Structure 1
Amino acid sequence: MQLAPGLHRIGDDIVAAHLIVADAGLTLIDAALPGYHRDLLRELAVIGRPVTDIRGIVLTHGDADHVGFAERLRRELDVPVFVGAADAERAKGAKPPATPSDPKRLVPMLGFLLHAARKGIARIPPLTEVQPVAGEQVLDLPGAPRVIPMPGHSPGSVAVHVPGVRAVFVGDELTTRNVLTGRLGPQPAPFTDDQAASSASLELLRGLDVDWIVPGHGAPWHGDVDSLIAAYRSAEARKR
């Protein structure tokens, strides 16, 4: 699905990856779950681009539902997979630490678990090779994605700013659809290693000139950063 010229969504409000489309090639932001590989191929067919146009994958963090089909593409296309250095081992299959118990509602939680099972969450191949990114830098990939370290959800979580499509991808540093409760709107994401650090990291987004703030779960936010953070802070206050 096209969100804007050069910006395409692979997936849905439950789990999503995103595609940056440029004349020089394609950059994939996250790789969702293995079953979304078919969705990727369908989207590529719609826009008339071969999968071999993918030049690289940038992960917002190393959790399994963002690693998804990345190893498949890495092997088949010999493309680099970039991830925050502190999440490199997690992307390679290291077990993340236990996180505090999050609020749950039975129906949304079961819906997420069933959807994830259908999309192959139990058979995600860990990455065997990654390109760790330390600090802020611009990657030599289509769209010139700029990686911004944002520790909190995980130690190596990053935001990925792509000025050409006026978007920043924030992974699970926030969500607009809580997969455990079904609650909609900007809010803290479940399964977060350090919620206080995650909340603080959002301030690093201020000043970005973007039209889209794109989480890994939930609808993309079409608006400015300040309004998104204000909505997030309101939800955060209600949660206390």
Structure 2
Amino acid sequence: MNAQLIRIGDDLVAMHAVATDEGVTLIDAGLPGDRRTLERALRAAGRGLSDIRGVVLTHGDSDHIGVAEWLRATHGVAVHVHEDDAARARGEVKSHAPGGAWKLPAAARFLFAGVRRGALRTRSIREVRVFRDGDVLDLPGRPEIIALPGHSPGSVAIRVPAVDALFVGDAITTRNVLTGVSTVAIAPFSDAPEQTPDSLERLRGLPERRIVPGHGPEFHGSVDELLGALAR
């Protein structure tokens, strides 16, 4: 199977498209203002919005659902999320987790980028399809779900062997959006950060070499190397 991983957005907020012969699976959905960026990225890869077969969310926070409701309502694209984050994605509950330490230049850059890309216009998802730990979704790339509670109750890792990638959402970050520090760390705004290291142990031994966080650049290496970097 021919498969391509397309990064859309930037290290502040990114989404990804897994493009195969069967169509496209979108991993996370960025910010509301990312519509044109998504269309341009797909067009550059010879694809279009009509090729998107589903959106799969690593969790239900507002900076991960940006274009999801638009795709669902306008283009009929189903949005998939863990059952424990379904209410969050629908806007029925919100996280009030503190961000922790911050530095003015980095925090201001994140805030400005969010406003510029429509963070204040985020639309909750009216209808979602729920999955559970261990599910393999019938979507391009056959994404496999691994529960990673901690950042949110329904945070997950999404394993896509077809593109040698493991998407970990906000379980970890490789560049803290509030401090600008480039290191492997538990992401800010986590509901239960003390739970995340134990959840991440579920990933140990997986073979993928592209570890993709929700914020920050890819980590190129094994999960075991990632966990080793987190422990330091």
Partner deviation per Cα, 1:185-207 (whole Å, 9 max, x = no partner) = 21110000001111211111112
Distance apart, 1:5 and its partner CA? 5.5
Unaligned regions of 5+ residues in structure 1, if any?
235-240
2:133 to 132, 135, 151: 135
Structure 2 residue aligned with 1:94: 92
Percent identity between the two aligned chains:
50
Letter in 2 for 1:18: H
TM-score, scaled to structure 1: 0.94
Q: Which runs of at least 4 in structure 1 moved beyond 4 Å after TM superposition?
A: none
Partner of 2:26, secondary structure, is strand
Partner deviation per Cα, 1:23-54 (whole Å, 9 max, x = no partner) = 01000000010111111101111111121000
Structure 2 residue aligned with 1:187: 185
Partner of 1:155, secondary structure, is coil
Distance apart, 1:96 and its partner CA? 2.1
List aligned pairs for 1:77-226, cutoff 5 A.
77-226=75-224
Letter in 1 for 2:106: P
List aligned pairs for 1:6-17, cutoff 5 A.
6-17=4-15
Does structure 1 retain, via aligned residues, the 8 Å contact 2:4–2:163?
yes
Distance 1:72 1:204, change over 3 A: same
* Inter-partner Cα distance in structure 2 for 1:76 and 1:193: 32
Structure 2 residue aligned with 1:237: none
List aligned pairs for 1:46-61, cutoff 5 A.
46-61=44-59
* Inter-partner Cα distance in structure 2 for 1:144 and 1:101: 33
Partner deviation per Cα, 1:107-159 (whole Å, 9 max, x = no partner) = 10011000100000000110000011122110000000001111000000010
Unaligned regions of 5+ residues in structure 2, if any?
none
* Inter-partner Cα distance in structure 2 for 1:23 and 1:170: 24
Distance apart, 1:101 and its partner CA? 5.0
Letter in 2 for 1:171: G
Structure 2 residue aligned with 1:238: none
* Inter-partner Cα distance in structure 2 for 1:45 and 1:144: 23
1:228 to 207, 226, 230: 226
Does structure 1 retain, via aligned residues, the 8 Å contact 2:151–2:193?
yes
Letter in 1 for 2:231: R
TM-score, scaled to structure 2: 0.97
* Inter-partner Cα distance in structure 2 for 1:131 and 1:101: 29
2:67 to 66, 69, 74: 69
* Inter-partner Cα distance in structure 2 for 1:178 and 1:158: 19
Partner of 2:177, secondary structure, is coil
Letter in 2 for 1:127: I
Partner of 2:106, secondary structure, is helix
* Inter-partner Cα distance in structure 1 for 2:94 and 2:136: 27
Partner of 2:190, secondary structure, is coil
Partner of 1:213, secondary structure, is strand
* Inter-partner Cα distance in structure 2 for 1:64 and 1:74: 16
Structure 2 residue aligned with 1:42: 40
* Inter-partner Cα distance in structure 2 for 1:29 and 1:67: 10
